[in-house]
Amino acid sequence: MKNKIKGFSLLIAALMLVTIATPIFAQGEVDPVVEPEPVVEVSSFVDHPIVKLLASFFANLFAPPVVEEPVGEDVPPTEPVGEPVLGEEPVVGEEEPLPEVLPVVVPEEVVAAMHEEQDLGFGEITKLLSIVTQAQALCVSDGLFCDVTVESLTAEYKAGEGMGELFKKYGKPEFTGVGQVRKAANPKVKSNNGKGNK
């Protein structure tokens, strides 16, 4: 009788073990979770007419720098130096590093972010972009203000520098308002409507 009880107890213990182990195995097999594509939020101001105007007018600020390559110079392949030793690969000139891939900057998104995220008005944005354009020109011609970027100037302005102080520091730019940019972007040709000058 004792053997029957022990056998019955072992059978119950084995069944309980199988019952407990089964959910563990089922939980171990996790279905792969498909993560949704990250949604890139586009500002609602990207299609605003003034954002488009400023982005196209100051587009050169957002274009990556053009690296000039030498024209007409053929660089001959370098030959291995010395005689190769058996078992060693001949050493040919060093490989050039791959060019750095610059992120694509969409001017409309930058201007819209300045307006929406930085809480800047379109007049302020125009002035800041004009100062950066002028600083870049001075960098090329005189080597001045080469460290001025849209980000650095915006940070300087947001830190408390007034627009007048920025004008004193970097010089007053040619374009200080949206109206001036609009006139420069779309100049109207004046005509005399067929009337001759007398």
pLDDT digits (tens, 9 = 90+) for 10-22: 778 777 766 665 5
Q: Is residue 131 situated within a structural domain? A: yes
> Considering its fold, how many domains does the chain have in total?
1
Q: DSSP for the chain?
A: -HHHHHHHHHHHHHHHHHHHHHHHHHHHSPPPP-PPPPPPPPPTTTT-HHHHHHHHHTGGGTSPPPPPPPSS---PPPPPSSPPPTTSPPP--PPPPPPPPPPP--HHHHHHHHHHTS---HHHHHHHHHHHHHHHHHHHHHS-STT--HHHHHHHHHTT--HHHHHHHH---S--SHHHHHHHHSPPPP--TTPPP-
Q: Is residue 56 situated within a structural domain? A: yes
Portion of the chain with pLDDT greater than 90, in percent: 29
Q: Is residue 78 situated within a structural domain? A: no
Q: Is residue 123 situated within a structural domain? A: yes
Q: Is residue 97 situated within a structural domain? A: no
Q: Which amino acid is at 179?
A: G
The structure tokens 């720098």 sit at 65
Portion of the chain with pLDDT greater than 70, in percent: 59
Which of 104, 105, 106, 103 has the alpha carbon at shortest distance from 52? Answer: 106
The 10s digit of each residue's pLDDT in 46-68 is 888 998 999 899 988 877 555 45
The 10s digit of each residue's pLDDT in 128-155 is 999 999 999 999 999 888 999 999 999 9
* pLDDT at residue 67, as a whole number: 47
Q: Is residue 148 situated within a structural domain? A: yes
Is the confidence at residue 70, as pLDDT, over 60?
no
Is the confidence at residue 123, as pLDDT, over 50?
yes
Burial of 111 (C-beta count, 10 Å sphere; 0-12/13-18/19+): buried
Beta carbons of 132 and 61 less than 8 angstroms apart:
yes
Q: What is the span of the domain harbouring residue 146?
A: 45-61+105-182
Q: Is residue 76 situated within a structural domain? A: no
Name the pLDDT band for 181 (thresholds 50, 70, 90). very high
82 or 164: which leads in pLDDT: 164
Q: Is residue 167 situated within a structural domain? A: yes
Which of 112, 113, 104, 128 has the alpha carbon at shortest distance from 48? Answer: 112
